[in-house]
Structure 1
Amino acid sequence: MYTPIQSSKLFEQIAEQIEERILRGELRSGDRLPSERELSEQFGASRTAVREAMKTLAQRGLVDMRPGRGTIVINATSRAMQQTLELMVRVGREDGYANLVELRELLEPGIAALAAARASEEHLARLRAVVEQMDASLHDVEAYIAADNDFHRTLATASGNRLILTFVDSIVDLLSEQRKHISRIGGAMERAQYHHKRILEAVSRRDAEAARIAMQEHLHQVRQDLETANRG
């Protein structure tokens, strides 16, 4: 999992390896890191070096060291951005969801195109599994929304751009609220699922332009459903 360290600055290199996994999305907010002893064995380093690495990561806002509970991955950058965006949407609640869709229309087609060009087989397998999960959750709003969030987050991860992943993580709670609002409209999840499958098909074919168009059409449908939900 980790590469044994052979350097005088052991704690810095330990911190860098863990930071890389966090930034790549392999370790997610809420994940618990192995114990100090286990990490020491994996890195082939002293527990003192591991302890210093954890302190470094905590100072960077990437982990939270909780006595009795271990070391938990966090993402202070995403959280700070999330709090700011949530405040902006809630202050302008009337237009907030529409503004969120507009922002997604600007960014997510590009994310889908990058995913088509850069996705690994592991990313594609994850996207297929999530689409199957959504198929099985069409009558369970909470489960469907969780899988929907995972689908778009996996696309962001597959883009290979860490800033994109940080941004998507920062709006996930807002997206959940918006999806729950839209789910009150009959057939909304089924319509979304049709578009998710078209996006997956395009990404699987490595067709960046088709993925871009499929995402645009998905978000157009989201906008239409949102307007219907707002009228209701």
Structure 2
Amino acid sequence: MSANNTISHEIATTLRDEILRQQYRSGERFPSERDLAGRFDASRGAVREALSQLEQLGLIRILPGGARVQAVDAASIAILGPLMAQDDFPDAALVDQFLQTFGALISLTAKNAVDNGNREQLNQLEDMIVEISKLAGDFEAMQPKWREFLDYMATVADNLVVRLICNDLKAQFVEQMMKLGVKPEIKKKSLTLLLNSLKLGFRSKDGELAACAMQNHFDELRVAAAQAISYKMASFHKEAV
């Protein structure tokens, strides 16, 4: 990355975070290239590239005569990670919305995997579930196995659109949750029941059962995440006193 591109990225990151913190109102005229160049002591070319990056994120719209701030809900999915990183702990409602959406996509992926997978592929998914089962109760150790399983299940499902959306969501969400120290954990008994149902779905080639198992898993994750965030917030406020 050239020095000019690095400067552009730094400017774009600063301005992106200011927009996400609502320092600019939706529809408000954004500072001009000249004003931003003066503020950041950068060339107008570097500022222009930074503004282009913000437009690609959907946070501003560049029009003749200047740029205007867009509403956050008009932005691209790429702002999810930065949006979660604005505070010391993630917004509980945003996390719940993510898990609800991601759960629906993974549930669809499980059904597609059963519908499209051959016996060898479904057996491989069963074997991967067995490996996850051995680590039930160890959150850290399970994560690589879960990622491997979800990636392979997506390959078997062969739905490119869902996979691309999941890749983007997963990369932003998991990274931020781990960075913020939020670890939603499901009780070992509940996880074992989920894995057994999922394994049975693959073995009996029952797509609805596999989909239901994944949906139930994410429903429990939503509850666990809310509890983990609540605990994180309580600990944060206790330390601040």
TM-score by length of 1: 0.54
Deviations 1:81-112 (A, max 9, x none): 88543223334821332121121233222222
3-state SS of 1:171 partner: helix
SS at match of 1:138: coil
**What residue number does 1:60 align with?**
none
2:183 is the alignment partner of 1:182: yes
Residue 114 of structure 1: aligned partner? 112
The alignment partner of 1:197 has SS state of helix
1:146 offset after TM fit, Å?
Answer: 0.9
Deviation at 1:120, TM superposition (A): 2.4
Alpha-carbon deviation of 1:230?
2.3
Instruction: Please tell me the residue identity of whatever aligns with 2:174.
Output: L
> Quick one: which amino acid aligns to residue 88 of structure 1?
L
Q: How has the CA–CA distance of structure 1 residues 219 and 140 changed in structure 2, closer, same or farther, with 3 Å as cutoff?
A: closer
Q: Provide the residue aligned with 2:26 in structure 1.
A: none
Deviation per residue, 1:131-166 (Å, 9 max, x gap): 222223235433211111222222222211122222
Aligned residues: 150
Inter-partner Cα distance in structure 1 for 2:192 and 2:79: 30
User: Counterpart amino acid of 1:196?
Assistant: L
Residue 115 of structure 1 and its aligned partner are, at CA, apart by 1.3
Q: Is contact 2:129–2:195 with CA below 8 Å preserved after alignment?
A: yes
Contact kept, 8 Å, 1:116 with 1:206, in 2: the verdict is yes
Distance 2:131 2:175 in 1: 17
Partner of residue 170, structure 1: 168
Counterpart mapping for 1:12-31 below 5 A: none
C-alpha distance after superposition, 1:148-196 (max 9, x if no partner): 122222222221112222222223332366587334x5x5355334313
Residue 137 (structure 1) aligns with: 135
Structure 2: tracts of 5 or more residues without a match: 1-75, 232-241
Structure with larger Rg: 2
State yes or no: 1:206 paired with 2:205: yes
Q: Is the Cα contact below 8 Å between 2:84 and 2:176 reproduced in 1? A: no
Residues 199, 215 of structure 1: 8 Å contact kept: yes
> Structure 1 residue 103 and structure 2 residue 108: aligned?
no
Paired residues of 2:117 and 2:156 also in contact (CA < 8 A): yes
Shift of 1:124: 1.8
Distance in 2 between residues matched to 1:88 and 1:105, nearest whole Å: 20
Of 124, 147, 164, the residue aligned with 1:126 is 124
**2:187 & 2:77 partners in 1: Cα distance?**
26
Instruction: Work out the CA distance in 2 between the residues paired with 1:202 and 1:141.
Output: 24
- In structure 2, C-alpha distance between the alignment counterparts of 1:119 and 1:85, rounded to whole Å: 32
Paired position in structure 2 for 1:221 = 220
Task: Report the residue type matching 1:102 in the other structure.
Answer: Q
- The residue number in structure 1 matching 2:153 is 155
Whether 1:88 and 2:83 are equivalent positions in the alignment is yes
Gaps of 5+ in 1: 1-80
Sequence identity, in percent?
15
